[in-house]
């Protein structure tokens, strides 16, 4: 997909701080802006879809929130194996 140059006016100190953070993650400032714009577009699409399906207002949940909210100490592989064995009739 082709790209288009974009001119923004943003505080210099903010740009410097975000650029350093981006470099620490192996990303560019342009990459971060593009990711955020993609997120906004997707969020808008999901909101419209939820409205069309009469699901009401959905709360945005980020990947890291899902991971951090998982219960600790649960061995998911063992649980899945146990469920598969039960379905297969293996005791």
Does 18 map to a domain? yes
Q: What is the pLDDT of residue 31?
A: 94
Average pLDDT over residues 20-35: 94
State how far the Cα of 31 lies from the Cα of 37, in Å rounded to an integer.
10
Quote the percentage of the chain above a pLDDT of 70.
99
Q: In which residue are the tokens 């592989």 written?
A: 77
Does 29 map to a domain? yes
Q: What is the pLDDT of residue 81?
A: 92
Q: Which residues have a Cβ under 8 Å from the Cβ of 57 and sit 6 or more positions away? A: 50
Q: Which domain holds residue 23?
A: 12-88
Does 6 map to a domain? no
Whole-model pTM over 0.75: no
Does 71 map to a domain? yes
Count of domains for the chain: 1
pLDDT of 13 above 90: yes
């Amino acid at each position: 997909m082709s790209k288009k140059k974009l001119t923004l006016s943003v505080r210099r100190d903010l740009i410097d701080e975000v650029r350093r953070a981006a470099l620490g993650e192996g990303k560019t400032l342009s990459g971060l802006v593009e990711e955020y714009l993609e997120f906004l577009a997707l969020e808008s699409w999901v909101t419209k879809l939820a409205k069309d399906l009469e699901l009401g207002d959905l709360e945005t949940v980020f990947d890291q929130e899902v991971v951090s909210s998982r219960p600790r100490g649960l061995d998911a592989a063992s649980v899945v194996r146990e469920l598969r064995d039960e379905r297969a009739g293996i005791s």
